[in-house]
Structure 1
Amino acid sequence: MRRLAAELDIRPTKKLGQNFVHDPNTVRRIVSAAEVTADDSVLEVGPGLGSLTLALLPAVGSVTAVEIDPVLAAKLSATAAAFAPNSAENLTVLQADALKVRAEDFAEPPTALVANLPYNVAVPVVLHLLAELPSLRRGLVMVQSEVADRMAAEPGSRVYGVPSAKAGWFAEVRRAGPVSRNVFWPVPNVDSGLVAFRRVDPPSSAPREEVFRVVDAAFAQRRKVLRGALAGWAGSATRAEEYLRAAGIEPTDRGERLTIADFARIAEAKQS
């Protein structure tokens, strides 16, 4: 990896959240934990120098790697040809921002997401891809440990919030183990964790955008009870209380105690 980086004159940048995995046991562990098979079309975000890509290619039907850095994107196919010649033809590289990709950008609909995600955009990337790609049925991503905790948190947890509530609209999410900072180059100043998800049906027929507005409002000021926190969204505290009672939720409760299905009922109450 260091040789490739030197050839490309690449210096990992904080701006792009670049910390490259150099440990082969770690990438093999990720592929195994992802439970992907030869029937899967895998989406990888932020492949970097290609360590996880090389582990994925022999295990799955195809890999589409989305890389925002044009230098890294241009090199990835050659790296695959050199180190995984028997499966390199199954790799497609998209030089693009993962936050902007659309379903039509993919020749084959991805069925699984497996990625070492840049820390600074991990949650928005996962939520965007789940919303944009209904074909995405499951995934395993490596993120900062604290982010992993927030994504997989259950209602009532002190770290339950917007990421966990919104992720719950799309999928069942769980922690899938820790990752040492020592498997990265350069070594980050935080530990990482694996997060696994499996898609589920939405808990409501209410528009997702409206439900997410309720979630955002509920957590914008965590110390406020829902009657006050949702006043702006509802139009007034009085109306917020009406919607909450119609949804079977106490106005004096707080957002961190509600499931995504609870938030959906509040949105439904406003529409009825």
Structure 2
Amino acid sequence: MNKIATPKNTKEMVSKYGFHFSKSLGQNFLVDYNIIEKIIRGAGITKDTNVIEVGPGAGSLTQGLSEAAKKVVAVEIDKKLIPILEDTLQGYENIKVINEDILKLDLHQLLKDEFDGGDIKVIGNLPYYITTPIIMKFLEEKVPVESIIIMIQKEVADRMNAKPGNKDYGALSVAVQYYCTTEIITIVPPTVFIPQPKVDSSVIKLNVLKEPKVKVEREDIFFKVVKDAFGKRRKTLLNALSSGDLQFNKDMVREVLKESNVDEKRRGETLSLDEFASIANGFVRRI
């Protein structure tokens, strides 16, 4: 099969099947094989690698993954794309396409059914609105994957990769970096997609840690502390943590912050993961 990742081939395939792009599903098809090669190299795909691809679209990245990996399981929510994928992926023996919503799948069962061990990586070109739920599903459900390599809106990738004190640092940064180390592989311009999005994209690699980066007594309290700290960014920690969902009184908050050597006048965007963990564990000891 000819490579689908060219403007001409993609337009012909879309026309052949009368396919209409869905704004609600954030569909933008990649039409530059150079970007595909960068993703495959950056992801570290080898013949020993199993891949779960989320949102294969017309199959441009899927074709490249198939040639580099051991097996590819592509999960596509849009049933209108299934005939196109059957066409573009014809002759590729190591690909299985599943017409499902990734958010509704039992991912542990998927891995058990489709792969016989080996490294498993998650790869996808994800629309903004669904990026965080998909990533957090894999991380929170502790699905045993080695890494998650995704192409997303650049500003979202910047938030995932941001460090304390950076304007992009927020609750998403902490949540992702609790479970992973992060690495920007490449910046992707709008011109390599059909239709063209209005903003740049980034390919970010999330290397999933075997254990979270910091030790917390209760993850639910840790993430509530993070949420409260960033809930009203202009508030000091003392005020933010005593007026958020946790509803701790100011005396307790002041005591925990002092114990953690954190100035009560600081704001959430200045805290490291270690400091968030220390504060959360201090609250757990008092509950």
Q: Fold-level match, TM-score > 0.5? A: yes
SS in 2 for 1:36: coil
Give the Cα separation in 1 of the matches to 2:239 and 2:225. 12
SS in 2 for 1:25: helix
In structure 2, what is the equivalent of residue 141 of structure 1? 150
Contact 2:48 2:69 in 1 (8 A): yes
Quick check: 50-59 or 259-268, which moved more?
259-268
In structure 1, what is the equivalent of residue 35 of structure 2? 26
Contact 1:43 1:64 in 2 (8 A): yes
Structure 2 gap ranges (5+): 1-9
Structure 1 gap ranges (5+): none
Q: How many pairs are equivalent?
A: 267
In structure 2, what is the equivalent of residue 99 of structure 1? 103
Q: Deviations over 1:115-157 (max 9, x none)?
A: 1111222122212222224311113211111111111001110
**C-alpha spacing 1:264/1:91, structure 2 compared with 1 (3 Å):** same
Contact 1:145 1:193 in 2 (8 A): yes
Quick check: 210-219 or 125-134, which moved more?
125-134
In structure 2, what is the equivalent of residue 256 of structure 1? 269
Quick check: 150-159 or 71-80, which moved more?
71-80
Shift of 1:237: 2.5
Check if 1:52 corresponds to 2:57: no
SS in 2 for 1:195: strand
In structure 1, what is the equivalent of residue 228 of structure 2? 217
Q: Deviations over 1:215-266 (max 9, x none)?
A: 1111110001111111131422322222222333222111111122322222
Give the Cα separation in 2 of the matches to 1:247 and 1:137. 33
Q: Scaled by the length of structure 2, what TM-score is found?
A: 0.87
Identity of aligned residues (%): 34
**C-alpha spacing 1:240/1:56, structure 2 compared with 1 (3 Å):** same
Amino acid at match of 1:162: A
Q: Scaled by the length of structure 1, what TM-score is found?
A: 0.91
Amino acid at match of 2:208: R
Give the Cα separation in 2 of the matches to 1:54 and 1:217. 44
**C-alpha spacing 1:3/1:155, structure 2 compared with 1 (3 Å):** same
**C-alpha spacing 1:269/1:186, structure 2 compared with 1 (3 Å):** same
The CA RMSD measured in Å over matched residues stands at 1.8
Check if 1:265 corresponds to 2:265: no
Amino acid at match of 2:257: L
Amino acid at match of 1:209: D
Check if 1:124 corresponds to 2:137: no
Give the Cα separation in 2 of the matches to 1:269 and 1:258. 15
